[in-house]
Amino acid sequence: MDKALRDAARRCVERAQHALLPEPSSVTNDYWEYAKFRFAQRIASSCISVFATQQMLTAVGLGASRTLPAAAAVNWVLKDGLGRLGKLSVAANFGRTFDSDVKRFRFTSSVVYDASSFIEIITPYFPQHFLPLATVANIGKSVGITTANVVRAPIQRTFILEENLAEVAAKTSAQQVLADNIGLALAVGAAKAVSKVATVRPEIRRALPVFAFGPLAALDLICIYKELKAVQLRTINKERAEIIAEAFVKEREIPSRAHVADAERLFIP
């Protein structure tokens, strides 16, 4: 009986590994560090998204001068229309520079996305300003998502050893779905637990996302920083060329990709 259970557990683990992870021999060693922190980052980001959505719905219901269908319709128009303008602006102004600075753009996209989520989270406290706040948040999130999507392929290409970019992309998407669902479950569970207290004091339910945002955003940005520092890009841009040249002058040898990745800055050029 014990052997049968162990065999069943082993098969489940193998199936999960097959569904979520690429073959170890087909990716570089830095992929695993990247994947680990990306998974944790997606959980935190998913929690933030759930709380932001909850707050936006609360804010829509608080507007005394508008009905729920009207406010929801306007928000939808703003999301689709102005959000697309944000995407267009990013593509038009930064399209030629994405490939040379993928890490910094990826980190910046997370900062913009989290800042936009915070704007959504505070909307219930300013229901009279719902439309401008929702507009700014929608544009910011659209810009952040677009930037993250654009630089994803150059980062994933760094890991492949067997021309298996599609496999790495597919497994990364599978990991993202799992992490997002875990984050969704955690956020919904926290909201349900607080709602029991909120029946007596409704302001507590509204305050939960505000207090949770700080730790979640910190976890999100720390993980995205760690995952990007783990990426050892194979291309050379201005900053990486300067790092290589400086190391060669000081030590008379070409630094490793790991050394260059560790020396790269993500905050400022």
Q: Are residues 62 and 160 in the same domain?
A: yes
Question: Domain check: are 86 and 43 in the same one?
Answer: yes
Summarised one tens digit per residue, pLDDT across range 73-95 is: 665 566 666 666 766 776 666 66
For 157-191, the DSSP string reads HTTBSSS-HHHHHHHHHHHHHHHHHHHHHHHHHHH
3-state helix, strand, coil in the chain (%, to 5): 85, 0, 15
Q: How far apart are CA 119 and CA 47, in angstroms?
A: 15
For residues 201 and 265, state if they share a domain: no
Domain enclosing residue 242, as ranges: 236-269
What span, in angstroms and rounded, lies between the C-alpha atoms of 176 and 67? 36
Residue at 69 is within a domain: yes
Stated pTM of the model: 0.85
Average pLDDT of the chain is 84
Whether 183 is covered by a domain: the verdict is yes
Write the DSSP symbol of residue 123. Answer: G
170-210 residue pLDDT tens: 999 999 999 999 999 999 998 888 877 666 566 777 888 99
107 plus 152 within the same structural domain: yes
End-to-end CA distance of the chain: 60
Q: Does residue 68 carry a pLDDT above 60?
A: no
Structural domains of the chain, count: 2
- pLDDT-based confidence at residue 253 (cuts at 50, 70, 90): confident
- Whichever domain contains 56, its CATH number is 1.20.1250
Q: What percent of the chain has pLDDT over 70?
A: 83
The Cα angle at residue 269 between residues 261 and 231, in degrees rounded to 5 = 20
As a whole-number percent, the residues of the chain with pLDDT over 90 amount to 36
**Phi and psi dihedrals of 122, rounded to 5?**
-90, 0
Distance CA 133, CA 195 (A): 25
d(CA 120, CA 57): 10
Q: Angle formed by the axes of helices 202-230 and 30-62, to 10°?
A: 160
